[in-house]
Amino acid sequence: MDTSTVQNLIQQGMPDAKVEVHGPDGVHFEALVVSPAFAGKLPLARHRMVYATLGELMGGAIHALSLRTLTPEEAARG
């Protein structure tokens, strides 16, 4: 597994999102996902939305994924 594959999977599942993924070891990844779909949702719901794009890879090929999920407004505030 590589960062571009993880990024592409999230992007395909959330086409309106801006996605950045880092993970030099190929099993532990960090992702920043900015999407208007997160508006009004709690962090756990946001994370579930991202996990759903990765399906069975979570816990398998992707051992760990650290997420930062923001709306575009939250991202603009820094």
What is the model's pTM? 0.93
Q: Angle at CA 26, nearest 5°, toward 36 and 24?
A: 80
Which CATH number applies to 3-77? 3.30.300.90
Q: CB of 34 within 8 A of CB of 16?
A: no
Q: Which residue, chain included where needed, has tokens 């999230």?
A: 10
Of 28, 20, 66, 27, residue with least CA distance to 47 = 66
The 10s digit of each residue's pLDDT in 38-61 is: 999 999 999 999 999 999 998 888
The 10s digit of each residue's pLDDT in 25-38 is: 888 899 999 999 99
**Per-residue confidence (pLDDT) for residue 1, from 0 to 100:** 86
By percentage, how much of the chain surpasses pLDDT 70?
100
Average pLDDT for 3-19: 97
> Torsions phi, psi of 32, nearest 5?
-110, 120
Q: Which residue, chain included where needed, has tokens 């930062």?
A: 68
**Per-residue confidence (pLDDT) for residue 20, from 0 to 100:** 98
* Angle between helical axes of 3-13 and 43-54 (0-180°, round to 10): 110
